[in-house]
């Protein structure tokens, strides 16, 4: 089975569903149609780039160092589909708030991985991180194309500028981390794990920036890009790790393994491991990145993580990591175990 969708924040079938809504303004539906049409173009690039990265990892010397601190650049597509776009000079001080947000939030994601997990950029070798902004006209998505992040401005009705959501920025960068570690393919259960890693680390990053404990976090993905037309329809986020199937989610998901969709979109099936993480973090309490997050990161970066991994095998890696990282805290292992049991993954 070949990839049916790429590493973006909004799945293609959701965009197509919204496109069929006759109550949406013609301009909004036109922007959705244009967004859907662009998907296959960058998807092919991501597949090829991902395969190249995995092949390179076999020959990359462990002593190789690209940079102690990664460079962060921003390019402006100027509402065209030409990538990567025109370089933005000094984006951290740009008057273009989209450029500034892309720079600042990427910088913060780098600090998040360094502080919480000891990782130096997405490849752990100080890789330069490049963002492309103002992609296309009213483009309703953000994606990782295997090389860098790309953000649309949204149509202003269903979706707002995608750099507004810090968890969206972290979601896209996490796809890069996955490519440089486990290399989960984008099909079947491994595809669900791939998307889940991005939602989980995106949510953790959002909580980390706000220094939130479990009880204070809302566990929503993409709440800051939901536009007025979407809110008028009762939506308040893309996904919700605490309640994946909720009606307030633009992209609702199954969250029990018995409801897994064979051959389904990875965005849908990611609801299962997403909710397992939520349940584990809930049982542990405190800050999600300090224990549950460290366990998930250890599993993602384990040498035993394989590109075609199934949920059960990944769950086993998290259980092993819980015992290894927190040998004197059996409650952590118990929480991880109960998290997976809670979604039906033994």
Give the CA radius of gyration of the chain: 19
Q: Are strands 142-144 and 220-221 parallel, antiparallel or unpaired?
A: unpaired
Residue partners of 284: CB distance under 8 A and separation at least 6: 214, 291, 292, 331, 332, 335
237 token code pair = 């986020």
CA–CA separation, 340 and 255 (whole Å):
11
Instruction: Report the helix count and the strand count for the chain, using DSSP H and E.
Output: 11, 7
Residue partners of 240: CB distance under 8 A and separation at least 6: 219, 220, 221, 246, 248, 249
148 is catalytic: no
Phi-psi region of 138 (alpha: psi -120 to 50; beta: other; left: phi over 0): left
Identified catalytic residue from 148, 175, 267, 275: 267
CA–CA separation, 147 and 50 (whole Å):
9
Identified catalytic residue from 172, 179, 189, 195: 172
DSSP string, 15-43: HHHHHT-TTS-HHHHHHHHHHHHHHHHHH
Closest C-alpha to 306, from 185, 188, 195:
185
Can you say how many angstroms the Cα of residue 103 is from the centroid of all Cα atoms in its chain? Answer: 17
175 is catalytic: no
Can you say how many angstroms the Cα of residue 198 is from the centroid of all Cα atoms in its chain? Answer: 3
Closest C-alpha to 109, from 47, 55, 177, 56:
177
Catalytic residue set: 172, 267
């Amino acid at each position: 089975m070949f990839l049916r969708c790429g590493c973006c924040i909004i799945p293609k079938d959701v965009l197509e569903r919204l496109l069929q809504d006759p109550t949406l303004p013609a301009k909004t539906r036109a922007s959705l149609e244009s967004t859907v049409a662009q998907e296959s173009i960058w998807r092919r690039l991501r597949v090829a780039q991902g395969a190249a990265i995995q092949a390179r990892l076999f020959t990359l010397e462990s002593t190789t160092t690209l940079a102690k601190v990664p460079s962060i650049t921003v390019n402006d597509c100027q509402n065209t589909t030409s990538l990567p776009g025109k370089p933005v000079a000094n984006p951290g001080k740009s008057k273009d708030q989209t450029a500034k947000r892309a720079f600042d939030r990427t910088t913060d994601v780098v600090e998040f991985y360094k502080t919480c997990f000891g990782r130096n950029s997405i490849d752990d070798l100080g890789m330069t991180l490049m963002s492309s902004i103002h992609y296309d006209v009213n483009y309703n998505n953000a994606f990782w194309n295997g090389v860098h992040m790309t953000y649309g401005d949204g149509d202003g009705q269903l979706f707002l500028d995608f750099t507004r959501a810090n968890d969206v920025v972290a979601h896209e960068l996490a796809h890069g981390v996955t490519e440089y570690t486990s290399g989960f393919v984008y099909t079947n259960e491994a595809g669900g794990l791939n998307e889940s890693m991005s939602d989980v680390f995106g949510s953790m990053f959002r909580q980390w920036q706000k220094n939130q404990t479990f009880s204070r976090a809302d566990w929503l993905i993409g709440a800051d890009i939901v536009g007025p037309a979407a809110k008028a329809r009762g939506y308040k986020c893309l996904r919700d790790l605490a309640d994946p199937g909720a009606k307030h989610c633009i992209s609702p998901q199954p969250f029990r393994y018995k409801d897994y969709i064979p051959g389904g979109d990875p965005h849908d099936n990611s609801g299962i491991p997403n909710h397992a993480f939520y349940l584990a973090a809930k049982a542990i309490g405190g800050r999600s990145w300090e224990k549950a997050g460290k366990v998930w990161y250890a599993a993602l970066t384990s040498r035993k993580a394989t590109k075609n991994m199934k949920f059960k095998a990944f769950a086993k890696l998290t259980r092993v990591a819980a015992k290894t990282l927190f040998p004197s805290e059996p409650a952590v292992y118990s929480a991880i175990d109960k998290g997976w049991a809670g979604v039906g993954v033994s």
